[in-house]
Amino acid sequence: MSDERILVPEVECPIGRAVDVIGDRWTLLILRQATLGASRFDDFRAALGISDNILSSRLAKMVDAGLLVKVPYRDERRTRFAYRLTAASADLLPVLHALARWGEAHTQPGGDGPRPMKIVHIACGAEIPSGEYCPHCGRDAERAETGWLRPWRSQSPFPLAEPVA
């Protein structure tokens, strides 16, 4: 186990500590967008419809917790920051997959009916039920070979962003 763990001293239970770090509604949605490649403040705001003050607060909390790292970049006028996944946030991918599977099984989308999200092994094109192992080609599905097919957004699977080393 890494010695770069997030300190949550007032909570003994590991589930409680995890919820303390990622349990906020916006945190998981920001993490979803970062996993899909969003990195700039405006990208998160546009995708989520979140107010600037809440987004600023959540991004700062996620940086402090080690879930995101700020990387400077320069636009036409000034230096700004992009937010990139860390190894800690990349380790939450199975949690996002479990939430997607739970949401598919126990919630109903609006609109014209079900359009299930699928976790796809981009290397062979097969759906990966567990999100980590591809029964079609019989090998582990590395993060770089995994995509999310969200048919309400696109008919092609979207590859997942890699964490910053």
Q: Which residue has the higher pLDDT, 111 or 51?
A: 51
Query: How is 88-141 classified by DSSP, letter by letter?
Result: HHHTTHHHHHHHHHHHHHH---SSSS----EEEETTTTEE-SSSSEETTTTEE-
How many domains does one find in the chain?
Answer: 2
Domain encompassing residue 47 = 14-86
> Residue 75's beta-bridge partner residues?
none
pLDDT of residue 32: 95
CA distance 35 to 73: 19
Q: Which of 35, 59, 86 is the last residue of a domain?
A: 86
Q: Tell me the pLDDT tens digit for each residue of 6-61.
A: 766 677 788 888 888 899 889 999 999 999 999 999 999 999 999 999 999 999 99
Same domain, yes or no: 79 and 143:
no
Q: Which of 47, 70, 86 is the last residue of a domain?
A: 86
> Residue 69's beta-bridge partner residues?
84
Same domain, yes or no: 119 and 65:
no
Residue 47 belongs to domain with CATH number: 1.10.10.10
**pTM (two decimals):** 0.86
| pLDDT above 50 for 68 | yes
Indicate the range of 65-69, 95-99, 111-115, 122-126 predicted with least confidence: 111-115
| pLDDT above 60 for 1 | no
Question: Does the residue 123 lie in any domain?
Answer: yes
Same domain, yes or no: 114 and 141:
yes
Q: Which of 30, 51, 86 is the last residue of a domain?
A: 86
